[in-house]
Amino acid sequence: MASSPEIIAVNQAEPPFYWGLDVGGTGIKIGLVDQVGQTLAFEKIPTRESEGADSAVERIGDVVDAIKARLGSNGQIAAAGQIAAAGLGAPGPMDLPTGYLVAPPQLPSWWNYPIRDRVAERLQLPVSFLNDGNAAAYGEFWLGSGRDDSSMVLLTLGTGVGGGIIVDGELVNGVNSFGSECGHIVIDPSPTAQLCVWGGGRGQLEAYASASGVVQRTRQRLTEGADSSLSGLLGGENTELTAKRVYEAALKGDELALKIIDETAYWLGIGITTLVHTLDPGSIVLGGAMNFGGVDCAIGQRFLAGIALEFKNRTFDNVFAGTTIKFANLGADAGYLGVAGFARHEHTTKQPAI
């Protein structure tokens, strides 16, 4: 299949340039980003997990070659030498020092694969390697909601809860490549606390604040007989009751849906208290698909206010006053932009592994 990348006109591209490669379970995003964060070219290709990792690396290389050819022919970039490095984000668990994917559940046939070095060989560039949560955090920190912050914590609310932590401009990647796994902080120690659907431990934030957690709690209340416009979804396919449906019901004033969203805010307020008392980042950014309409929607605003209220109840006045909780604003682009930015950061501060 011939690649047809989107070429984006920018007024003044500022070299050097960096590839941002964001590998997920269903799609791979490939962007070429300049040093002030402008995207010069972008393409998303299917992951095709079952075809294996080598095939995906080859297809990434094909897109990269196609973009280079297109940009070279229209004069956007003068030479391949203006591309300094690549950033690569992928789901964990991974081993950052050796550049291996270890056992990502979304990519079962790619386990124990030296993805960083294979991409480096194909692209003939140094590659900076990151966990996808930290990649998105770095994107929001560089170009998004946290662009004016010195430190920042991102919580991504999606099927699970991911996270990324930046302290004084540096990512917390961890000694075992397990830093910033904020979805796995313990918020309820009870032996009967909620179990994470993804196999994490009991009572961890992910079980309460993810879209899966929202569905799980809604299903439970409906089974217990709660009166709600969502009841009709209970008997249907397991896939019909979603966090998006809960949000839509809340928009129409459904009391159960509003209660579930308020509870989600409550649990996030507890988790955020713990993260702030550990890191005092000044800035908490909420990303991921589950934003209940975001800052422009009354439900999103209610969600944010509920989180802030619980945090206020549990922290000190000056810490509350010195902390901002806000929505992310790069959406699904945060990952490829973040790894491009991290490659730029490593390229300008140290020499990454090739």
- The residues binding its own copies (CB under 8 A) are 93, 150-151, 165, 167-168, 170, 172-182, 184-189, 201-202, 204, 267, 270, 273-283, 313-316, 318-319, 322-323
- Cβ-based nearer residue to its own copies, 20 or 287: 287
- Cβ-based nearer residue to its own copies, 151 or 228: 151
Q: Please, what sign has the CA dihedral across residues 141, 146, 147, 152?
A: negative
DSSP β-bridge partners for residue 130 = 89
Minimum CB separation of residue 260 from its own copies in Å reads 17
- Cβ-based nearer residue to its own copies, 81 or 199: 199
Using alpha carbons, select from 7, 128, 165, 14 the residue that is nearest to residue 82.
Answer: 14
- Cβ-based nearer residue to its own copies, 20 or 146: 146
Cα 139 to chain center, whole Å?
Answer: 9
Residue 121 identity: E
Residue 64 identity: V
Minimum CB separation of residue 13 from its own copies in Å reads 33
Minimum CB separation of residue 141 from its own copies in Å reads 13
Place of tokens 């946290």: 146
Our CA dihedral for 17, 20, 21, 25, rounded to 10 degrees, sits at: -170
Pairing mode, strands 324-327 and 94-95: unpaired
- Cβ-based nearer residue to its own copies, 224 or 317: 317
d(CA 229, CA 246): 9
203 touches 193 (CB < 8 A): yes
Alpha helices in 170-297 (DSSP H): 205-209, 211-223, 243-251, 255-279
CA gyration radius, the chain: 21
Minimum CB separation of residue 309 from its own copies in Å reads 14
- Cβ-based nearer residue to its own copies, 271 or 300: 271
Main-chain dihedrals φ then ψ at residue 94, nearest 5 degrees: -140, 170
Using alpha carbons, select from 119, 161, 171 the residue that is nearest to residue 279.
Answer: 171
Q: Residue 150 in 3-state DSSP?
A: coil
Minimum CB separation of residue 198 from its own copies in Å reads 12
- Cβ-based nearer residue to its own copies, 133 or 338: 133
The interaxial angle of helices 243-251 and 255-279, nearest 10 deg, is 120
- Cβ-based nearer residue to its own copies, 222 or 270: 270
Nearby residues of 349 by Cβ (< 8 Å), 6 or more positions away: none
Minimum CB separation of residue 213 from its own copies in Å reads 15
Minimum CB separation of residue 231 from its own copies in Å reads 29
Minimum CB separation of residue 131 from its own copies in Å reads 11
Alpha helices in 224-297 (DSSP H): 243-251, 255-279
Report the helix count and the strand count for the chain, using DSSP H and E: 10, 13
- Cβ-based nearer residue to its own copies, 168 or 237: 168
Minimum CB separation of residue 69 from its own copies in Å reads 40
